[in-house]
Structure formats: C-alpha cells, structure tokens
C-alpha cells in the first residue's frame, strides 16, 4: 500500500541558517532513499532556517514508521517533527 507522508521539522531552537537547514534536509533525504521504504518526492526549507519539510511516497508504511522514528531520534529531531500521512 503506497502512502504519501509529509514530515515537517521545526529548527527554530537550533539557530541554523537556511544553508545549514538545507544541508540537514539533504542528509536526511540521503538516509531515506537507499532503505527501500519509499522515495523523497519533494521538500523545502524556510528561508530563515527555522524549518524543513519532506514529502515521501512510502511503499512499506510499517518499515517506514520504525525507520523514520529511529532516524529522527538519531538526529535528536523527533520532538520537533510532525508527520502527516495520506493514503
């Protein structure tokens, strides 16, 4: 079952520039793509570096959920993240 996931991560308390926030988003994308859980189909970054977002097409929701939670925990971003799912 394919789903679309939107992940929004607040970085307001991190004091990042837009370039740093974009670099973080790219690192997160690079971790997601090779797993086979789905693919990144969109994303963005606030111009002030206060947030990033990703849009994923998820092929395996069960594996994706555990992977995304572990990835956000590893990056110390889980408390700052909101995930919306559309089937």
Q: For position 26, which CATH number holds? A: 3.30.70.60
Strands (E), 28-74: 38-45, 51-58
How far apart CA 63 and CA 45 sit, in angstroms, is 26
pTM of the model: 0.91
The pLDDT value given to residue 33: 86
Estimate the share of the chain in helix, then strand, then coil, as percent rounded to the nearest 5.
45, 35, 20
Domain range for 70 is 3-86
Q: What is the pLDDT of residues 5-50, one digit of tens each?
A: 999 999 999 999 999 999 999 999 999 989 989 999 999 999 999 9
Number of domains in the chain: 1
Task: Give the burial class of 82: count Cβ atoms within 10 A of its Cβ; 0-12 exposed, 13-18 middle, 19 or more buried.
Answer: exposed
Choose among 3, 11, 9: nearest CA to 58.
3
């Amino acid at each position: 079952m394919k789903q679309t996931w939107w992940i929004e991560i607040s970085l307001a308390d991190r004091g990042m520039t837009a370039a740093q926030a974009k670099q973080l988003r790219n690192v997160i994308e690079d971790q997601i793509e090779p797993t086979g859980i789905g693919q990144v189909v969109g994303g963005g970054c606030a111009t002030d570096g206060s947030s990033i977002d990703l849009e994923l097409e998820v092929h395996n929701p069960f594996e994706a959920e555990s992977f995304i939670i572990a990835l956000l925990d590893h990056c110390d971003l889980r408390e700052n993240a909101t995930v919306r799912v559309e089937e």
